Structure 1
Amino acid sequence: MESNLMVKKNQKLEAFDILRKALIISARNINFFIFTILTSLPLFFFLVYYEIFLQNFLVEIFEIVKQSPGYDYCYIIWPTGSLNVDITRKLNKEFLDELIQLCLLYLVPLHLLELSTVLVIVDLASKIYTEEGPMMSLREMVNKPFDKARLKGTFITSVYVLFLSTCILLGLISLVTTYFVVLRNFGCDVFFAALCLPAFVGLLALYLAFSAVWNMSLVISMLDGVHGTGALALAIYYSRGSEWRGLRLMLVFFAWGEGLRLPCLYFGCYEREYGIVAQISLFCLGNVLKWVVCMVYFYDCKNRAFEKKECVESADDEVGTQVETVEE
């Protein structure tokens, strides 16, 4: 594995090159593709239920928010109390239980099911990427054991990642909620949108840039056996100078996920099983590709970090040699 990584060391991969390599790994290794799809079935079935629940919840919230009174353009006035009190009562009473249930589904079963698929995808994809040899059979993939210590370490890292990502997601949700539920009621939509939109875009860009680092930390835990804050620190070190590449890669898959969800919301696919099944099928395919991309991105960033370190050490050696020569 190390010798093959040294051969790849001089390859400078941009975002498009990483995507292309990930597509090649997924498309040319039919056993890998079949096995990852099979192991993604538990996540697939849960996501069908989760998306139906989530999209129904979002539509119900949107219908309540639409009842908020309109006002003249940029004419700031306190809203009429009765209707807003009614909206607040509905949000507090009717949807609190659903919101709690949605959060629990996201934090526990969805997190664990996604982590189980990530373990399989990254482990197999790394062997395909770094090893030269015959393609693994499905039986070999099934019987291949996992390192229990690394499984535990990866879970610890995933808890850190879940906490950090949830904090930023709550910030994004709070911005949207502040605009649609609070600020919009003052009637100056354009003014408040001009304030909220840049903050939302900035926070989203921060979330995507951090996602590349967080995902790399999970790959590090699986492949290098470093977990927790150590994996996060290594991911930050390896990705230094590659932040823009990571952001662009994560933007591709964020757009893929939301590009599948928004049409389903608009056309009411959550009311038709086949629409949700089609959405989740495409999402799971994108999820496999995303983690193969994260694996390739990790190796490329790691190689670049080693090259920089070797250049610095070589420069230090040359300076030391020159100093010794002058002293002599």
Structure 2
Amino acid sequence: MTDTSSTTTLICGSLAFDKIMQYHGRFSEALIADQLHKVNVSFLVPTLHTEYGGCAANVAYNLMMLGGDPLIMATLGQDGGEYLARFAELGISTRAIRTIGHAYTAQCFVTADQDNNQINAFHPGAMQFSHENNVADYGPLRVALIAPDGRDGMLKHASDCVSAGVPFMFDPGQQLPMFNGEELRDFIDKATYVAANDYEFEMLMERTGWSADTIAGQLDALIVTRGEQGSEIFANGERMMIPAVPASAVVDPTGCGDAYRAGLLFGIANGFDWGTTGRLASLLGSIKIAHQGGQNHRFTAAGVAGQFEQAFGYRMQ
């Protein structure tokens, strides 16, 4: 099912609504330290807004603006019609998105106080049925991403990619704690690429019992992001440092990792070298962080090409 003439990127991961609420006081003033075993509090939240979220949607959104060909394979709930309409407006294919009629779309409820402390609750909803999707139904494909999703779905889609001969990037993200060492070693054995932030990568090494060199030695590329310190790419027996691109403003890190991964996938699908691929990914993360939410920033492929040349002194190709 792999087709090197195709640039279609299958994106397996979550679709979610993020409900953002703002409490104008401090949580600490409503919580009594010696009574935390029987908490019963209510916070008045005068402001509430909804953001479109989920790793799969965030990655696809960035990849679409780059001129890539993203294909989201994910699950929505009975309340997902609004998201499908958004994808149609953006020109992102929905043919691999399954609606689970007896569930709600995954939702994250975030309440922040005036000090930006947060209390979060996450309802996985339809995401728990992601294993009902099959990679083999949606070829031909150039590459796939297995991003945070339902546990069973992530396991199944890794096996599906191997069976279909589709190279894939394993990006466990916040779902990494769901898997034990044996399962993580199996993901790495199957994957062509692994991407993680520095904290996740430390956990990955701890759980697998493998060093960075051992993990990198089993992959075409290992990518580790380190925030404002840039990122590292281990490929072809070498360790490459990718510089961070200074942002015009630091507003919200939500979705920066997804924007970065979109750059990686675009580079892979188009045959860029790893230095260029990593620098493109870094630039997209910088563009995203200057905007609130995971899908409110805008750019064009031509604009990114110009910013790339300005930041790195050569043309992206």
TM-score (norm 2): 0.26
Whose helix fraction is larger, Structure 1's or Structure 2's? 1
TM-score (norm 1): 0.26
Q: Which has the higher contact order (CA 8 A, sep 6+)?
A: 1
Whose strand fraction is larger, Structure 1's or Structure 2's? 2
